[in-house]
Amino acid sequence: MTDPADILRKYWGYAQFRPLQEDIIRAIISGKDTLALLPTGGGKSICFQVPALMKPGLCLVVTPLIALMKDQVANLQKRNIPAAAIYAGMYYQDVERLLEEARRGKYKFLYVSPERLQSNRFLEYCDGMPVNLLAIDEAHCISQWGYDFRPAYLEIAAIRNYFPAVPVLALTASATPEVQRDICSKLLLQEAAVFTKSFTRANLSYSVIEEDNKPEKLTHILQRVSGSAIVYCRNRKRTREIADMLEQQGIPATYYHAGLTGEERTARQELWINNRIRVMACTNAFGMGIDKPDVRVVIHYDATDALEAYYQEAGRAGRDEQKAYAVLLYQQQELKEMLKALVLQFPETTEIREVYQCLVNYLQVPVGSAEGIYYDFDINDFVRKFNLNITVTYSSLRILEQEGILQLSESVFMPSRVEFIISKQTLYDFTEIQPAFDPIIQTLLRTYEGIFDTPVPVYEKQLARLLRKPELQVTEWLQQLHQRRIIKYSQRKEEPQLCFSQERVSAQHLRIDAGRIKARMQAYKARLDAMLDYVQNRDICRTQLLVRYFGEKNAQPCGSCDVCIEKKKTPLSAKTGESIATQLIAQLADQPEDWLTVRNRLPAIEEDALLEVMQFLIHEEKAGRDADGKVYLKQ
C-alpha cells in the first residue's frame, strides 16, 4: 500500500502533515470508525482525501454546503483527481448520469447533500457503488442540541447498511462534549477512534469591547491592524452600510451576503482573496471553505448567539500561524435584545401553522402535491404580502425544516435549460427564412447532445465564447427563439429555493412535536447564555473560557487577550494621570475632536493610557461625546 506521505507530496506538494492528520488517516486505513475535531483551518479535507486515494473505489462525502462542495470538487479536479457533486436544484437526468458514472468507477470522490442520501433514486444506485470511505463533514449538524441542527443528518446512518464494511469519518470544527457523544451515537460509530486537536490558538488574540460608537471603533481597529480583514454583521443591510462607510474612510472594502447573485459573490470573493479589496463586510454566509491564511483581523460588529459559530468565524484569522486578532464589538442594549428575541426564535405551534398556511397560499400549493418540487422563494416578498413578522417567519421555517417538512436553501444554482420543440425539417425551414439565427442554432446542436429529445443544461458564457459574441446577445437570441416557439428556454436561477420534503398537508394536520421544540429552545438558551457570559466576562482568559466550553480543561492563560492584558497592566499613577488629563484638556479646549485626531496629536502618550484618562473624564462628567462621537469639554 502507498504511504500517506507519498500521496500528500504527489497531489498537494506538502512535505509533511499537520498535527493529527496522519493519525486520523492511519485510523481510517486500518478500518476504524473515526471522529475528528479539527478547528477551522485545521485541514479536515486532507483527512479523508488522502486515505480515499490510497485504496481502490470511491469516497462518498456528505456535506450540507453547496459552495463548499463546488470548491472542493474544483480543487480536486485541478489536481487531476476525478470528483463530482450532487446537490439541490440539479435536474434528475444529470443526477442519474453522475450516479451511473460513479457506480462504474469514474470518480474518486462524490460529494452529496444529506437530503440526497434519502432519495430512492440515490439508494438504487448504491447497490454496486464501489465506496471505500464515508466522510461526514459538519458532523455536529446531526445533534438536535447543537447550534446548527439539520434533520437530514439523522438519516445518514441508514446508508451504512449499503456499505457495512466501510469505515466512517465524522468531521467537525466545533462540538461540545455532549454533541460529540451525540455524533458517535447517531452515526452508529463502532468503538470510534476520537482525535481532538487543541482548540487553543496561540497566535490569535481575542478582545471584546463595549462600544457606543461602533463605526468609529471599527475604523480605528482597521487603521491600527494592517492586512486583510473580515467584518461579520448580523444582517445584509449592515454589510453594505459598513462597506460604504469604510470606502469613504479610504479603506478598500466590499460586502457579501446570500442575497447577491452567484457571479457577484464569486467576483467579490476573488477581489478579497487576491488582496485587491482589503475588507470583506459580510453575513455568516461568507467564509466556509475559504482558503486565505493571511487574514489579520476578524471583527464581529454584532455578537453571535453561539460560541460555536463565533469560534469558527473568529478562527478564520491567522491561519498562517502569524499574529492575528479577533475582536467583538457590542452594546448592552444588543445583549438585552438577544434575550428578548428568544421567544421570537421559538414561536408557538399556532404561529408555525399560520406561517405554513400563508406559505402554501403564497406558492399556490394544493393539498397532496409538491413533494420534492423546488419553488423560487423570496422571504421578504412573502412577509410583506402576508404582513408577517420576519423573525417569527424565518424561525417558523427553520422549525419546519428541523421537523422534516420542508427545506430552505439560500443559494441553489440551477443552470439554464434548452430543448428544441419543433421538427428538424421545420427548424431547417426557419433558418432559411431567418438566417441571422443560424449561428446560435448550429452552435446549440453541435455543443449539446440530445437537445432535440430532452431539456439539457446550457451555459450562456460558453455559448458566448464559441460564438465570439457578448453574453447579453446570446441571451437575447435564446429569448427570441423561445418567443417564436423554436425552443423552450428556461433561464438559470440563483434565487433562494424552497422544497417540500413531504407532500403538502392542511395546516391543522401538520405534525409538529412541541416537546422537541421546547427542548431545542432550552438548548438554544444554554448556548446563548454561554455566549453572553463570554461577552461580559472580565475575569477569565478568553482562550481558557472558549476552550473550556468545548471540553478542554487544562489550557493555560493566553497572555494576549484583552482580559490577560488588563491583568498585566500597571495602574496609572496619580501624577501620570493628571499630566495626561492636562494635555488632553488642552487639545479639547477649542473644539470637540474625534479619537483619532486626539491620538495623533498626542503620539508620545501610550494609547491605552490616553483612552483610560479620556474615559475617566467622561465618567466624571468633565467631558462628553456629541452626536458624531466627538469628545468635548463640559463647562
Q: Is the pLDDT of residue 412 over 60?
A: no
pLDDT band at 494 (very low <50, low <70, confident <90, very high): low
**Cell, residue 135:** 466522510
- What is the average pLDDT value for the chain, to the nearest integer? 89
Strand 131-136 with 168-172, pairing: parallel
- Do 548 and 503 fall within a single domain? no
End residue of a domain, out of 165, 196, 227: 196
pLDDT band at 335 (very low <50, low <70, confident <90, very high): very high
Q: What is the CATH number of the domain that holds 559?
A: 3.40.50.300
With b for 16 or more beta-carbon neighbours within 10 A and e for fewer, the 26-53 pattern comes to: ebbbeebbbbbbbbbbbbbbbbbbbbbb
Q: How far is 153 from 100, CA to CA, in rounded Å?
A: 24
- Do 500 and 478 fall within a single domain? no
Average pLDDT over residues 279-302: 90
Q: Is the pLDDT of residue 100 over 90?
A: yes
- Do 174 and 55 fall within a single domain? yes
Cell 435549460 -> residue: 417
Residue 532 forms part of a structural domain:
no
* One-letter amino acid of 314: A
- Do 302 and 191 fall within a single domain? no
- Do 170 and 314 fall within a single domain? no
- Do 87 and 47 fall within a single domain? yes
pLDDT band at 1 (very low <50, low <70, confident <90, very high): low
Residue 276 forms part of a structural domain:
yes
* Least reliable range by pLDDT among 217-231, 325-339, 368-382: 368-382
Sheet holding 497-500, edge to edge: 374-376, 497-500, 406-409
Q: Is the pLDDT of residue 289 over 70?
A: no
- Do 421 and 406 fall within a single domain? no
Average pLDDT over residues 297-314: 94
pLDDT band at 371 (very low <50, low <70, confident <90, very high): confident
Residue 239 forms part of a structural domain:
yes
Residue 335 forms part of a structural domain:
no
Residue 510 forms part of a structural domain:
yes
Please enumerate in sequence order all residues whose Cβ is within 8 A of that of 497, keeping only pairs 6 or more positions apart, or say none: 88, 89, 374, 375, 376, 377, 408, 409, 412, 414
The proportion of the chain whose per-residue pLDDT surpasses 90, expressed as a percent, equals 56
pLDDT band at 262 (very low <50, low <70, confident <90, very high): confident
Average pLDDT over residues 1-23: 89
Domain extent for 243: 204-330+537-567
Q: How far is 605 from 611, CA to CA, in rounded Å?
A: 10
- Do 137 and 259 fall within a single domain? no
pLDDT band at 575 (very low <50, low <70, confident <90, very high): confident
Residue 463 forms part of a structural domain:
yes
For the segment 459-470, what is each residue's pLDDT rounded down to a tens digit?
888 899 899 999
Q: What is the CATH number of the domain that holds 611?
A: 1.10.10.10
Closest CA to 467 of 505, 493, 438: 438
Q: SS3 for 84?
A: strand
The reported pLDDT for the residue numbered 538 is: 94
**pTM for the complete prediction?**
0.78
pLDDT band at 169 (very low <50, low <70, confident <90, very high): very high
Number of structural domains, the chain? Answer: 5
Q: To which H or E segment does residue 427 belong? A: helix 424-433
End residue of a domain, out of 180, 196, 212: 196
The reported pLDDT for the residue numbered 89 is: 64
Q: Is the pLDDT of residue 625 over 90?
A: no
Computed from CA positions of residues 244, 246, 250, 251, in that sequence, does the dihedral angle turn out positive or negative? negative
Average pLDDT over residues 512-523: 90
Residue 374 DSSP one-character state: E
The reported pLDDT for the residue numbered 598 is: 83
- Do 408 and 422 fall within a single domain? no
pLDDT band at 554 (very low <50, low <70, confident <90, very high): confident
Cβ atoms of 197 and 38 within 8 Å: the answer is yes
- Do 70 and 176 fall within a single domain? yes
Residue 547 forms part of a structural domain:
yes
The reported pLDDT for the residue numbered 87 is: 78
- Do 471 and 614 fall within a single domain? no
Cβ atoms of 408 and 377 within 8 Å: the answer is yes
Average pLDDT over residues 117-126: 85
Average pLDDT over residues 234-242: 93
Q: Is the pLDDT of residue 102 over 90?
A: yes
End residue of a domain, out of 138, 163, 196: 196
**Three-state secondary structure of 246-274:** HHHCCCCEEEECCCCCHHHHHHHHHHHHC
- Do 357 and 376 fall within a single domain? yes
Q: Is the pLDDT of residue 338 over 80?
A: yes
Q: Which residue has the higher pLDDT, 502 or 430?
A: 430
Average pLDDT over residues 495-520: 86
The reported pLDDT for the residue numbered 495 is: 67
With b for 16 or more beta-carbon neighbours within 10 A and e for fewer, the 277-313 pattern comes to: bbbbbbbebbbbebebeebbbbbbbbbbbbbbbbbbb
Residue 87 forms part of a structural domain:
yes
The reported pLDDT for the residue numbered 5 is: 92
For the segment 264-288, what is each residue's pLDDT rounded down to a tens digit?
888 999 999 999 999 999 999 887 7
Q: Is 454 exposed, middle or buried (CB count within 10 Å of its CB: 0-12, 13-18, 19+)?
A: exposed
For the segment 582-599, what is each residue's pLDDT rounded down to a tens digit?
888 888 888 888 877 888
